């Protein structure tokens, strides 16, 4: 094999591939990425990464003097080509499966494996296709992925719930302590109905590739896989099997207390509180932040082994006064991932043992409709996001 690449083009393709390739697996072929030269077209190289659960495939232009197919460790390749000067890079492989990677007078030699050692990919085709602008999918994933569990023993919490119904895409993230919900209207009509659980780790990789642009992204569902086509890049993963958490049942349909507050004001106060609640001097102990809603004031306080925090901000409240505690980071992450257009928020509470909802305040007493939940009188149907966060039991 003897192939010439543009350095920057190869880096652009190898970087997302390295994000997919497993670095903790004992099988060396899974740690690597597959280079096939030529790919489907002449003077192209098809690059594939696959860790037996999720994968990525793309093609880049190159100049093929001797065709070949190799598996090379993703991190090794990426580190080497980043270290080489700009210009045309040569990858040449001898009969002993030693690859020389060079540019000008600089060269590296590493061991590679035959391409036949790479694991077999699933069939990248399905029977249900959905096309939408990239910015729409980017926004709905951004609004929910932070609430998806990581390495949770309950497998379904490690993925985001995708539900397509009535030409709408609903996405839900939940890790047992919070729920994040968002939905968009899908372009076109007759979008096939479906309900699947998509692993959060693949969504994180997809999120790095999709842009705030009108360019289309196509999502394809197969029986056990989901495929995202973003320009020349194809991402795919096995779906998580099982029945998703019944999020609609835990969301309160009425609130005894409703609080209206500016998003920036609340976010700023909670960011300050995080300096105390994330203090590590006390070991693993993380103090809660206490929220006291009294009249038209929200009083915040927290005490840790390393210090204390107190603040108060103006709010507009209807209903009962209430004192409730939360993990501050859960509140901060919810506010950090809200759209910029959500300048005013509505907080819905009932008692110190029930969760709090956070949503955009579309107007005094009006709110958003969440598919699968009972619609409250006076609610408008629009672009939806909603967070539901469970409280922390405060010490007496």
User: Tens digits of per-residue pLDDT, 174-212?
Assistant: 998 999 999 999 998 889 999 999 999 999 999 999 998
Over its C-alpha atoms, the chain yields an Rg (Å, rounded) of 25
Residue 364 has pLDDT above 50, yes or no: no
Q: How confident is the model at residue 146 (pLDDT cuts 50, 70, 90)?
A: very high
Residue 95 has pLDDT above 50, yes or no: yes
The residue-averaged pLDDT of 116-145 equals 93
Q: Specify if 98 maps to a domain.
A: yes
Query: Final residue of a domain: which of 117, 142, 162?
Result: 117
Residue 73: per-residue pLDDT? 92
Q: Are 161 and 143 in contact (CB under 8 A)?
A: no
Residue 250 has pLDDT above 90, yes or no: no
Residue 275: per-residue pLDDT? 86
* Shared domain check, 284 and 235: no
Place of tokens 């991402």: 235
* Shared domain check, 41 and 90: yes
Residue 147 has pLDDT above 70, yes or no: yes
* Shared domain check, 181 and 69: no
Structure pTM? Answer: 0.87
* Shared domain check, 58 and 132: no
Report the CATH number at residue 173.
3.10.150.10
d(CA 47, CA 14): 8
Domain count, the chain: 3
* Shared domain check, 321 and 334: yes
Q: What share of the chain is helix, strand, coil (3-state, %, to 5)?
A: 20, 40, 35
Residue 155 has pLDDT above 90, yes or no: yes
Please compute, for residue 327, the number of CA atoms within 13 A of its CA located in the half-sphere on the CB side. Answer: 12
Residue 361: per-residue pLDDT? 84
Q: Specify if 394 maps to a domain.
A: no
Q: Specify if 20 maps to a domain.
A: yes
Residue 375 has pLDDT above 80, yes or no: no
The residue-averaged pLDDT of 132-156 equals 93
Q: What is the pLDDT of residues 218-248, one digit of tens each?
A: 999 999 999 999 999 999 999 999 999 898 8
What sign has the CA pseudo-torsion 66, 72, 75, 76?
A: negative
d(CA 79, CA 164): 41
Q: Specify if 123 maps to a domain.
A: no
Q: Specify if 89 maps to a domain.
A: yes
The pLDDT mean for the chain works out to 88
Q: What is the pLDDT of residues 32-54, one digit of tens each?
A: 899 999 988 899 999 999 998 99
Q: Which residues pair with residue 342 across a beta bridge?
A: none
Query: Final residue of a domain: which of 117, 140, 163?
Result: 117
Q: How far apart are the first and last CA of the chain?
A: 71
* Shared domain check, 258 and 375: yes
Query: Final residue of a domain: which of 247, 262, 281?
Result: 247
% of the chain surpassing 70 pLDDT:
90
Residue 28: per-residue pLDDT? 60
Q: Specify if 309 maps to a domain.
A: yes
Q: Specify if 122 maps to a domain.
A: no
Q: How many CB atoms lie within 10 A of CB 90?
A: 16
* Shared domain check, 260 and 382: yes
* Shared domain check, 343 and 289: yes
Residue 151: per-residue pLDDT? 87
The residue-averaged pLDDT of 325-346 equals 91
d(CA 179, CA 151): 17
* Shared domain check, 292 and 232: no
Residue 83 has pLDDT above 80, yes or no: yes
Residue 93: per-residue pLDDT? 95
* Shared domain check, 264 and 383: yes
* Shared domain check, 113 and 191: no
* Shared domain check, 240 and 267: no
Q: Specify if 396 maps to a domain.
A: no
Domain of 98? Answer: 2-117
Report the C-alpha dihedral over residues 374, 378, 383, 387, rounded to 10 degrees.
Answer: -60
């Amino acid at each position: 094999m003897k192939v010439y690449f543009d350095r920057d083009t190869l880096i652009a393709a190898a970087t997302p591939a390295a994000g997919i390739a497993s670095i903790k697996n004992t099988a060396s072929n899974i740690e690597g990425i597959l280079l096939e030269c030529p790919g489907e077209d002449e003077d192209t190289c098809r690059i594939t990464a696959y860790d037996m659960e999720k994968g990525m495939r793309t093609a880049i232009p190159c100049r093929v003097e001797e065709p070949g197919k190799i598996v090379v460790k993703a991190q090794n390749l990426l580190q080497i080509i980043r270290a080489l000067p700009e210009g045309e890079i040569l990858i040449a492989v001898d009969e002993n499966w030693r690859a020389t990677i060079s540019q000008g007078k600089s060269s590296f030699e590493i061991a590679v494996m035959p391409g036949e050692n790479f694991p077999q990919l699933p069939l990248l085709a399905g029977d249900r296709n959905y096309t939408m602008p990239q910015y729409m999918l980017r926004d709905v994933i951004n609004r929910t992925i932070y609430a998806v569990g990581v390495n949770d023993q309950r497998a379904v919490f490690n993925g985001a719930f995708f539900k397509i119904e009535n030409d709408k895409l609903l996405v839900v993230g939940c890790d047992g302590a919070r729920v994040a919900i968002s939905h968009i209207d899908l372009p076109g009509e007759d979008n096939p109905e479906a309900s699947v659980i998509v692993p959060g780790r693949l969504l994180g990789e997809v999120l790095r590739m999709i842009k705030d642009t009108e360019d289309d992204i196509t999502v394809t569902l197969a029986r056990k896989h989901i495929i995202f086509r973003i320009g020349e890049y194809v991402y795919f993963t096995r779906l998580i099997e099982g029945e998703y958490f019944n999020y609609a049942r835990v969301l309160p349909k009425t609130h005894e207390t409703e609080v209206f507050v500016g998003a920036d004001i609340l976010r700023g106060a909670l960011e300050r509180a995080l300096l105390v609640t994330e203090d590590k001097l006390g070991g693993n102990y993380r103090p809660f932040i206490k929220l006291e809603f009294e009249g038209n004031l929200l009083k915040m306080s927290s005490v840790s082994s390393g210090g204390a925090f107190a603040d108060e901000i103006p709010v507009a409240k209807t209903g009962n006064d209430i004192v409730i505690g939360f993990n501050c980071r859960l509140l901060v992450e919810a506010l950090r991932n809200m759209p910029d257009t959500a300048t005013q928020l509505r907080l819905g509470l009932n008692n110190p043992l029930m969760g709090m909802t956070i949503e955009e305040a579309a107007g005094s007493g009006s709110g958003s409709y969440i598919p699968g939940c009972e619609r409250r009188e006076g609610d408008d149907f629009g672009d939806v996001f909603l967070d539901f966060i469970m409280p922390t039991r405060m010490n007496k």
